[in-house]
A and B are shown apart, each in its own frame.
Chain A
Amino acid sequence: MNTWAPAWVDALTALLVGGGALAALIGSFGVLRLKSFFQRVHAPTLGATLGTWGFTLATAVQVSFERGQLYLHALLIAVFIALTVPVTTIFLMRAAVFRARLRGEEIPVPGADEPPRD
Chain B
Amino acid sequence: MSPLLSWALVFALGCLALAMMLALARMIIGPRAEDRVLAFDCLYQNTMLVILALGLVYRSSSYFEAALLIALFGFVGSTAMSKFLLRGEIIE
Interface residues of A (CB under 8 A from B): 3, 7, 10-11, 13-15, 17-18, 20-22, 24-25, 27-29, 31-32, 37, 40-41, 43-44, 47-48, 51-52, 55-56, 58-59, 62-63, 66, 73-74, 76-77, 80-81, 84-85, 87-89, 91-92, 94-96, 98-99
- Please name all residues of chain B whose beta carbon is closer than 8 Å to the beta carbon of A88 when the two chains form the complex: 41, 75, 78-79, 82
Q: Are B64 and A32 in contact (CB under 8 A)?
A: no
Residues of B near any A CB (own CB < 8 A): 1-2, 4-5, 7-9, 11-13, 15-16, 18-20, 22-23, 25-26, 32-35, 37-39, 41-42, 45-46, 48-49, 52-53, 55-56, 59, 61, 64, 67-68, 71-72, 75, 78-79, 82-83, 85-86
